[in-house]
Structure 1
Amino acid sequence: MKIFTKLYDWTLRWAEHRLAPAVLAVLTFAESVFFPIPPDVLLAPMVLSKPEKAWRYATLTTISSVFGGVVGYLLGYLMFEPLIEPVLIEFNYMDKFENAMAWFEEYGVWVVFLAGFSPIPYKVFTLSAGFMQMLFLPFLIASAVGRGMRFFLVAGLIKFGGPKMEAKLRNSIDVIGWSVVILAVIAYLVFS
C-alpha cells in the first residue's frame, strides 16, 4: 500500500504554494503549544522544492517555534490549574508531564535545549518550564538554540542532499512511514 508515497507527492506539490511559508509558521507555532505533527514534515519538502530559501525557511520555523514555546511557557505559568491540568488529565498526559517535571528538577534548563533539538515533545517542556516558573531568559535562549539547531540541521541536510537525497527518500518513504506508524503503536502500548 503506497499511501505514504501519495502523501509525500501531495506535500511536495503543496510546498511550492505561495501560502506554504505562512502555513509552515502556523504549524510550527501550534506544534510548540499543542499540535502533534512536527513542522519538519513541511519544512523538508519546502526546502527540497526551493533550496535557495532553505535558511529563510529554517529561520521562519525557528522563530515561530520559539514564539509558540513562549505561549506554552505562559500557559504553564499563568493557566496551569484552571486550563492545562484538566486537559492533561483528560488526555492521559499527566504522567508525561510528571516525567518532564522530574527531568527539570534533575537537569534544569538543559532539558529545554534537549526537547527543542530532539523529537521529544517540546510542548510538554514549555508548559513544564512555565509551571515551574523557570527563569524566562534561560528558557528563551535554550529554546532558540535547541530549536534553531534542529531546524537548520533539517534544512541544511535537505539543501545539500539535493535531488539524490530526494530520490532515495522517495523510494523509501513507504517503508519509513509504516515503520514510524508501527513504532508509534508500540510506544503507545508500552508507555500507556
Structure 2
Amino acid sequence: MFESLYLKVLRYARHPHAPRYLAALSFAESAFFPVPPDVMLIPMALANPRAAWRLALLTTAASVLGGLLGYGIGYFALAAIEPWLQQWGYWEAYQTARDWFGRWGFWAVLVAGFSPIPYKVFTIAAGALAMNPLGFVLASFLGRGGRFFLVAGLIAWGGERLEQAIYRHVRTIGWASVALVAVAIALYLLLR
C-alpha cells in the first residue's frame, strides 16, 4: 500500500505543472492556507535532486509574496478576520506572534520561518502591528529561504540514495506516521 503511494507521489512530483502548484501552495500558505509547502517541496526535490535549489528559490519567492498578502490582511482587515482566527484555533498563536513582535520585531519574522507556529500568523501579525514592510520582506526571505534551502539541500545531498532508502523503508515510515497521527488525535480528544 505505502510503496504504491510513494511511487505515485514521486510521479506527481515530476509532473510538468508541479512547480506551478508548488508556487501556488507556497503563496497561499503564507497568508491563509493550512498546508505547508514542504509537503510538495520534499517529494519534488526527491524526484529531481538537481532541481532542488531552483525549487527552494521558487518556494521562497512565492512564500514571501504570499507573506505580503498576509501582511496586507493584517494591516487592512484584522478586525474582519479576527473571528476566523479564533474559530480555526489560530488566536493563541496570533497572540504569541504579537508578543514576539513586541520583544524582537525583525528577528521574530526571521525565526518564524523555522517556528512550529504557522507562518501566516506572523505575516498577519506583522501587518496588524505595521512592521516596516522592507524589514518584513527581508526577514521573510531570510527565514523562509533558510528553511526551504535547508530542506532542499538535505534532499539534494541525499539524492538517489535517499530516495532508495525511503522506498526500502516506506512501509515502516508509513505505519509509524499512521501511529503518530492516531496518538496525536487521541491526545487531542483526551486533552480537550
Q: TM-score range by the shorter chain?
A: 0.7 to 0.9
Asked if structure 2 preserves the Cα contact closer than 8 Å seen for 1:5 and 1:173, the reply is no
Q: What is aligned with 2:44?
A: 46
1:10 Cα deviation from its structure 2 partner: 2.3
Q: Which moved more, 1:35-44 or 1:68-77?
A: 35-44
Q: What is aligned with 2:9?
A: 11
For residues 93-138 of structure 1, the C-alpha deviation after alignment (integer angstroms, 9 at most, x for no partner) is 2222112211221222211111113443111110011101111111
Aligned counterpart in structure 1 of residue 19 of structure 2, from 6, 18, 21: 21
- Verify: 1:177 aligned to 2:177, yes or no: yes
TM-score, normalising length: structure 2 = 0.88
Q: What is aligned with 1:70?
A: 68
Asked if structure 1 preserves the Cα contact closer than 8 Å seen for 2:93 and 2:117, the reply is no
> For structure 2, which runs of at least 5 residues remain unmatched after alignment?
none
Asked if structure 1 preserves the Cα contact closer than 8 Å seen for 2:30 and 2:66, the reply is yes
> For structure 1, which runs of at least 5 residues remain unmatched after alignment?
none
- Verify: 1:140 aligned to 2:137, yes or no: yes
Aligned length: 189
The one-letter amino acid of 1:11's match is: V
Shift >4 Å, 4+ stretches: 186-192
Q: In structure 2, how many angstroms separate the alpha carbons of the residues matched to 1:141 and 1:90?
A: 31
Shift of the 90–57 alpha-carbon distance from structure 1 to 2, 3 Å rule, reads: same
The one-letter amino acid of 2:18's match is: A
1:13 Cα deviation from its structure 2 partner: 1.0
Asked if structure 1 preserves the Cα contact closer than 8 Å seen for 2:22 and 2:41, the reply is yes
RMSD: 2.2
Q: In structure 2, how many angstroms separate the alpha carbons of the residues matched to 1:162 and 1:190?
A: 41
SS in 2 for 1:71: helix
Q: Which moved more, 1:126-135 or 1:179-188?
A: 179-188
Q: What is aligned with 2:89?
A: 92
Shift of the 7–156 alpha-carbon distance from structure 1 to 2, 3 Å rule, reads: same
The one-letter amino acid of 2:35's match is: I
Shift of the 9–187 alpha-carbon distance from structure 1 to 2, 3 Å rule, reads: farther
Aligned counterpart in structure 2 of residue 109 of structure 1, from 106, 113, 122: 106
The one-letter amino acid of 1:127's match is: I
- Verify: 1:58 aligned to 2:59, yes or no: no
Q: In structure 1, how many angstroms separate the alpha carbons of the residues matched to 2:127 and 2:39?
A: 27
Asked if structure 2 preserves the Cα contact closer than 8 Å seen for 1:115 and 1:122, the reply is yes
The one-letter amino acid of 1:101's match is: R
Q: In structure 1, how many angstroms separate the alpha carbons of the residues matched to 2:135 and 2:187?
A: 31
